[in-house]
Structure 1
Amino acid sequence: MGARRKACVAMLAAVAVITIGRPSAAQPPAEEAVFGSIMFVLDASNSMTAPMDEGGTRMDAAKAAMDTLIDKLPVNVGVGLQVYGSGTGDSAAEKEAGCQDVRTLQEVGPPDKDALHAQVADVQPRGYTPIGTALTSAADELPEDGPRAIVLISDGIDTCAPPAPCDVARDLDGAAVDLAVHAVGFQVDEEARDELDCVAGETGGEYHDAPDADALEDLLPELANRALRYYDVEGERVSGTEQVAEAPYLKPGQYTDSVAKNTAHYYRVHVPEGATGHFTVIHVMSKDKKRTDSRVRLRLLDGERRLCGENTGSREYNYDGPETASVSWSPADPLTMCDPAGPHYLEVEWDNEADSASDNIELLVSLEKPVEGDQGHAPQTRGVPFTTPRGEQEIAWGGGSFNTAAPLPGTGRYVDKLNYSEYSIYKVWVDWGQALSYQLRVSGGEQGNDATVVTELRGPARETSREHWWRSAEHNGDSVALDSVSTPRVFHANRNGDDRVRPAAQAGWYYIVVKLSPVWSDPSSSPDELPTYELAVNVTGGRVAGPEYREMTVPEEAPPLPASRANWTPPALVAAARAASDPGWAWWIVGGIGGAALIGGTALVFVVRHRGLRR
């Protein structure tokens, strides 16, 4: 991963917690205002003048397909357009110039649909096919940050190599350039098909045949939609250890690791006094349409293996998305069952039915500063009511991971499509004092294809809240509206409320996930007609000042290990013991700390169990 990607990832992980003083609002990072960037590269070589059986030329068909694509471009993706072969003829005398003939008609940016239509209409096919040179030029034109893709439409092989297209694609991949090349072969022969398939394969993209004009017109919008929908693990590479004593120290940031199946791996973390640590593990599997039960478990332990918190994420099918487990913990929690003095360790373990011996994980480590003085508004008691927003629908393409989640600009009605057995992720910025509500409506698809459509909302730590922020419905081609999902107004004190409001205790990005199951009668099928869905999104409430944070120092290196406190006893257990010996304490325990004796009894089981972990 390049330095620019690491910097972007670190900023993503820290956005909700790097706060100084008391800000008036927690503004979203400007560089995350768009989902990603695509450069379309159109073949305008002389071979595109070939006539079609249905009338017109290949160029006429390509222009019609591009016009359809342009009309369906979304509001949240940067788009550019290049052509090759339109500036010279294809004579031998013109070859040197023709093999450099790559022109940028539209620089990457918000799509100007009128300008794009006019530019496509003016393209005249004449010259050579410098695919390798065009790929290099397209990659150079794309911005350095964010997910990026090239969509190449060609009717033949490169006629200018070197550089050979497959060599260029291999060089791009070898340079760790974060982009995929998707190629469409329009009425190509076997030699051209092999070349274009190689270009796509070397960069993790897709190759598709378009045998006629209708196929090309149908294919381009759907391929462009999926061009940025992939899961690529991101973060600083670390190596967790099977022995706690050797665990690497993780500062706030995002990390990746390759972890063996059924083998606990450990990572040391540090939560300063008064701060709150937010920890998330995401287990990433290869896409597969068949059912594969999988789970990942995250536990936070102290140096004596006492349990601070644990969570498990699971999945059955690809459309469920990557399983995610999150733990939040503060040393100031009066009910903590682990030693606030530390040290503290994350324990990660996964298991599934797949054949792989190891899989990639992502680890998010973030620290929320201690609150000093006013915590802000009192906790809410329920989510806000949903109302359908006004205005026209806008097209918005979703991403394939939390790292590439597609930003939505706020209140609006957004339309997208989804393949069966896939999921798509969007994100909405919710500031202090604001609330998010939305509803998913699904229509279309082939009648009789019984499937399940699901949506869930996740908070800034990407944690799940299945009980309150998860909806599903059966879909067979008819229109269906899922029940709405709503957060309360976001306030720091919500963490002190009940389960309905506790997840909405941080300003930042909130993630909307849309999922479509396989066709249950034939899970391996790939129907041609895909459902369309609308996300009706409302961001309501005025921005308010956040809580008053005090400064916090995060050590660059692992702090020295504190003296062992093997005999340390959780305060809740001390109080429970007092209650057992003095009945007068019992009512105080139950009323004041919510049944700590029961919690403590459960914790004792964990204390015994974790004694056996390897050091």
Structure 2
Amino acid sequence: MIRRFAALATVPALTFAFSFANAPAAAAEGELSPVMVVLDSSGSMTARDAGGSGTRMDAAKRAVGSMVDGLPAQAQVGLEIYGAGTGSSGAEKAAGCRDVRVVQPVRTVDKAALKRAVNATKASGYTPIGQALRTAAAQLPKEGQRSVVLVSDGEDTCAPPQPCEVAKELHQQGVDLHVHAIGFRVDAKARAQLACIAQNTGGTYHDATDADSLLGILGRVTEKALRHYEPIGKPVIGTADPFTAPTLVPGQYLDTIDPVEERFYAADLKAGETAYFAATAIFPRGNPRDIEVLDIRITGPGGADCYRSERNLFTLAKDGGSLTSVLTWTGLTAGSQKTKACSVPGKYVFRVTRDADQRGTDRVPLEMQLRVEPPVTGSLGEQAQQNLVDFAQQPSGAVKPVRAGGSFNEATTLDGSGRYGETIYYGEELFYRVKLDWGQGLAYRVTFGGVPKGPTANIRTALFSPVRADIKSDTTAYTGNTQILPSNGKAIATARTAYLNRNAAEPTIRKSSVDGWYYVVAKLGSSIGGNGDSPTGVPVTIDVAVVGEKVAGPEYGAAGDVASTPTPTPTASSSTPSGSNTDAAGKGDAIPATDDSSSALPWIIGGVVLVLAVAAVGAVLAVRRRKPPSPPTYPNAGPGWPNQP
């Protein structure tokens, strides 16, 4: 459940004359790959966990147990341990270096049995990592993608074979095996060894400094088993000091953030521009805390307080998923009532804070978008709307099968009015998108079908605007019986999109002031009470109505054209958007805001297109890697712009 603490401010103005062509929707469905979990049970795991209430082994058991809880019922998972069968004396070394035991073969996961095996493990002996890797590889199928998740608190104490050489062997044999290594409070030498294993098998390496971070990392590693939020963006590191914040050009960025941490990012804004700054934090299933808060605050040139913030709360963060906050700044637009110090061109700084209900050390990905819109210098388009749209009649007919994406970036397109359906699995958050032109509105509802004796879980749906502002959401419990959201029987809906809607008092109408892709999200949480997840998932149907005919929108000019901004009197002009701003775009190398890649909105997007998936998020169970969104084209742009001849 996400609750909004601060309403969006009035938003006057949008961008200019470059629109995105269609980007691909979600990646194709893939099967789940088999996984062998390899757990260090050597004597060093009996050391106390820093900041914890037990040993490192206790922390590892809790983390693996939480990981098991988050696995889909159809996952193929096994467990291997080393170091638990001997002591660590010199006389026991020969036996200890052969001490690798498969306690659970790779098969359809039996969560209870796997957790019992983990909990029965005692740490005592040596660390034969190289031999453990060979054993794990032999246990996995001979074809297809396979994965090993290795948790170790130190380096190999039994070489030969050297672990990194074993990794190279497997790679040279053409074995499609990826080792994802997690170093639990390791020193530099052990870290280098584990990272070498991961690098030579196409896997990932992660540092875990305590029990909380180990739990969070294991959750993110196993998250690849289901469709998940794969963040993308140009890497950026926000600072702890607003005066040294990195300056962003419009586009999409990627950072990470700790609980109770401030990150600062800057943007140079010109007279007449409106800025939209969106931050999306992505949490793993099994997140260590239930309540997460994402707060954005803005300051003006010289650090002036602009007295504007946006704060959203996530109360079911242990289920995993995403939390988005959006701050819209209109202080430089004509007629703005903002403070004088925050109404002048210059450097504006956005502070992003992640406030959790308890402290921790787990970092999560932070995906950010900066969008900038110059003033309207011609027609403002239609009058503001007074009402939300609704279904003209009850949807009927065949349900069109779809396959949703796991993020804003990979949302699957729903082609206008109709009925769409698929299966959602426990722990999944699915994203769809619907295109709205000026003058069109959206109404929808989601039906979670009945599953006899299905586990109890939380379900949720939410609607987001093209700038990722959450328009409306609804949450309730699912007990295996058919459940419709919203539960009040009314559709979740927008008004017909109109530029002047941004002046409305009603928040839902105010957020219907942008044309482009609107996002429908459906979520089925993890089962409640430990009664297991259904291996078949839950059927879900999305009924959609796109209401209204396309009309002319506002006419945009270049930044700085404040003096020529017309009096806000709407007309029915059919003129096309005009103006250009070659100074505001075409510089920097931020990734364009792909979630609105085929919007008719002419967002200012600067720079060379780079699509970078975050290696730090980890990967394990998906057979096919997702194909990154293709770079958008700019059909109205001239020579010299990105992707133009």
TM range (shorter): 0.5 to 0.7
Q: CA deviation at 1:511?
A: 0.8
Tell me the residue number matched to 1:293: 291
Q: CA deviation at 1:441?
A: 1.4
Tell me the residue number matched to 2:390: 385
In the alignment, which of 451, 455, 475 is matched to residue 478 of structure 2?
Answer: 475
Do residues 309 (structure 1) and 293 (structure 2) align?
A: no
In the alignment, which of 10, 23, 34 is matched to residue 31 of structure 1?
Answer: 23
Q: Report the Cα distance in structure 2 between the residues aligned to 1:255 and 1:424, rounded to whole angstroms.
A: 22
Q: CA deviation at 1:311?
A: 0.7
CA deviations over 1:264-284 (Å, ceiling 9, x no partner): 221111222112111111112
Tell me the residue number matched to 2:338: 336
Q: CA deviation at 1:355?
A: 3.2
| 1:21-420 equivalence runs, <5 A | 29-32=21-24, 34-38=25-29, 162-166=173-177, 229-288=227-286, 292-302=290-300, 303-318=302-317, 319=319, 321-330=321-330, 331-332=332-333, 334-337=336-339, 338-341=341-344, 342-352=346-356, 353=358, 355-386=360-391, 387-420=393-426
Q: Report the Cα distance in structure 2 between the residues aligned to 1:165 and 1:380, rounded to whole angstroms.
A: 56
Q: CA deviation at 1:249?
A: 0.4
Q: Give the direction of change, closer, same or farther, for the CA distance of 1:535–1:175 in structure 2 (3 Å limit).
A: farther
Q: Give the direction of change, closer, same or farther, for the CA distance of 1:420–1:165 in structure 2 (3 Å limit).
A: closer
Q: CA deviation at 1:448?
A: 6.7
Tell me the residue number matched to 1:547: 554
Q: Report the Cα distance in structure 2 between the residues aligned to 1:480 and 1:354, rounded to whole angstroms.
A: 36
Q: TM-score, normalised to structure 1's length? A: 0.56
Q: Report the Cα distance in structure 1 between the residues aligned to 2:309 and 2:28, rounded to whole angstroms.
A: 38
Q: Report the Cα distance in structure 2 between the residues aligned to 1:40 and 1:453, rounded to whole angstroms.
A: 24
Q: Report the Cα distance in structure 1 between the residues aligned to 2:362 and 2:438, rounded to whole angstroms.
A: 43
Q: Give the direction of change, closer, same or farther, for the CA distance of 1:357–1:227 in structure 2 (3 Å limit).
A: closer
Q: Report the Cα distance in structure 2 between the residues aligned to 1:421 and 1:414, rounded to whole angstroms.
A: 20
Q: Report the Cα distance in structure 2 between the residues aligned to 1:176 and 1:547, rounded to whole angstroms.
A: 53
Q: Give the direction of change, closer, same or farther, for the CA distance of 1:375–1:159 in structure 2 (3 Å limit).
A: closer
Q: CA deviation at 1:472?
A: 3.1
Conserved 8 A contact 2:259-2:359: no
Aligned to 1:264, the other structure's residue is in SS state strand
Q: CA deviation at 1:488?
A: 0.8
Conserved 8 A contact 1:298-1:346: yes
In the alignment, which of 522, 525, 529 is matched to residue 517 of structure 1?
Answer: 525
Aligned to 1:494, the other structure's residue is in SS state helix
Q: TM-score, normalised to structure 2's length? A: 0.53
Q: Report the Cα distance in structure 2 between the residues aligned to 1:403 and 1:476, rounded to whole angstroms.
A: 31
Q: Bigger CA drift: 449-458 or 231-240?
A: 449-458
Q: Report the Cα distance in structure 2 between the residues aligned to 1:454 and 1:368, rounded to whole angstroms.
A: 32
Tell me the residue number matched to 2:158: none
Conserved 8 A contact 1:446-1:476: no
CA deviations over 1:74-119 (Å, ceiling 9, x no partner): xxxxxxxxxxxxxxxxxxxxxxxxxxxxxxxxxxxxxxxxxxxxxx
Question: Taking CA–CA contacts closer than 8 Å with sequence separation of 6 or more, which of the two structures ends up with the larger relative contact order?
Answer: 2
Q: Report the Cα distance in structure 2 between the residues aligned to 1:282 and 1:227, rounded to whole angstroms.
A: 21
Q: Report the Cα distance in structure 1 between the residues aligned to 2:404 and 2:201, rounded to whole angstroms.
A: 24
Q: CA deviation at 1:393?
A: 0.3
Conserved 8 A contact 1:292-1:354: no
Q: Report the Cα distance in structure 2 between the residues aligned to 1:356 and 1:370, rounded to whole angstroms.
A: 43
Q: CA deviation at 1:308?
A: 5.0
Q: Report the Cα distance in structure 1 between the residues aligned to 2:265 and 2:498, rounded to whole angstroms.
A: 31
Q: Report the Cα distance in structure 1 between the residues aligned to 2:235 and 2:367, rounded to whole angstroms.
A: 9
Q: Report the Cα distance in structure 1 between the residues aligned to 2:405 and 2:501, rounded to whole angstroms.
A: 29
| 1:2-17 equivalence runs, <5 A | none
Unaligned runs of 5+ in 1: 1-15, 43-130, 137-157, 180-200, 207-225, 559-615
CA deviations over 1:311-347 (Å, ceiling 9, x no partner): 1122122447312111111212522135222421010
Tell me the residue number matched to 1:599: none
In the alignment, which of 515, 536, 553 is matched to residue 507 of structure 1?
Answer: 515
The one-letter code of the counterpart of 1:481 is: I
Aligned to 2:299, the other structure's residue is in SS state strand
Conserved 8 A contact 2:274-2:329: yes
In the alignment, which of 460, 464, 479 is matched to residue 454 of structure 1?
Answer: 460
Structure 1 outlier segments of 4+, above 6 Å: 39-42, 131-136, 158-161, 167-173, 175-179, 555-558
Aligned to 1:309, the other structure's residue is in SS state strand
Q: CA deviation at 1:377?
A: 0.3
In the alignment, which of 20, 29, 34 is matched to residue 17 of structure 2?
Answer: 20
Aligned to 2:544, the other structure's residue is in SS state strand
Q: CA deviation at 1:305?
A: 3.1
Unaligned runs of 5+ in 2: 1-12, 34-140, 147-168, 182-195, 205-217, 558-579, 589-645
Q: Give the direction of change, closer, same or farther, for the CA distance of 1:234–1:397 in structure 2 (3 Å limit).
A: same
Q: Bigger CA drift: 410-419 or 445-454?
A: 445-454
Q: CA deviation at 1:295?
A: 1.0
The one-letter code of the counterpart of 1:532 is: P
Conserved 8 A contact 2:426-2:526: yes
Q: CA deviation at 1:41?
A: 11
The one-letter code of the counterpart of 2:338 is: T
Conserved 8 A contact 1:438-1:536: yes
Tell me the residue number matched to 1:530: 537
Aligned to 1:258, the other structure's residue is in SS state strand
Conserved 8 A contact 2:171-2:201: no
Q: CA deviation at 1:480?
A: 2.4
Aligned to 1:278, the other structure's residue is in SS state strand
Q: Report the Cα distance in structure 2 between the residues aligned to 1:376 and 1:178, rounded to whole angstroms.
A: 52
Q: Report the Cα distance in structure 2 between the residues aligned to 1:39 and 1:292, rounded to whole angstroms.
A: 30
Q: CA deviation at 1:169?
A: 10
Aligned to 1:493, the other structure's residue is in SS state helix
Conserved 8 A contact 1:135-1:168: no
The one-letter code of the counterpart of 1:281 is: A
Q: Report the Cα distance in structure 2 between the residues aligned to 1:244 and 1:299, rounded to whole angstroms.
A: 11
Q: CA deviation at 1:348?
A: 1.0
Q: Report the Cα distance in structure 1 between the residues aligned to 2:396 and 2:172, rounded to whole angstroms.
A: 53
Paired residues in the alignment total 386
Q: Give the direction of change, closer, same or farther, for the CA distance of 1:529–1:507 in structure 2 (3 Å limit).
A: same
Q: CA deviation at 1:421?
A: 3.7
Q: Report the Cα distance in structure 1 between the residues aligned to 2:201 and 2:551, rounded to whole angstroms.
A: 42
Q: Report the Cα distance in structure 2 between the residues aligned to 1:438 and 1:176, rounded to whole angstroms.
A: 45
The one-letter code of the counterpart of 1:554 is: A
Q: Give the direction of change, closer, same or farther, for the CA distance of 1:547–1:475 in structure 2 (3 Å limit).
A: same
Conserved 8 A contact 2:284-2:321: no
Q: Give the direction of change, closer, same or farther, for the CA distance of 1:36–1:450 in structure 2 (3 Å limit).
A: closer
Q: Report the Cα distance in structure 1 between the residues aligned to 2:321 and 2:30, rounded to whole angstroms.
A: 27
Q: Give the direction of change, closer, same or farther, for the CA distance of 1:449–1:544 in structure 2 (3 Å limit).
A: same
Aligned to 2:510, the other structure's residue is in SS state coil
RMSD: 3.9
Identity %: 25
Aligned to 1:500, the other structure's residue is in SS state helix
Q: CA deviation at 1:160?
A: 12
Aligned to 1:36, the other structure's residue is in SS state coil
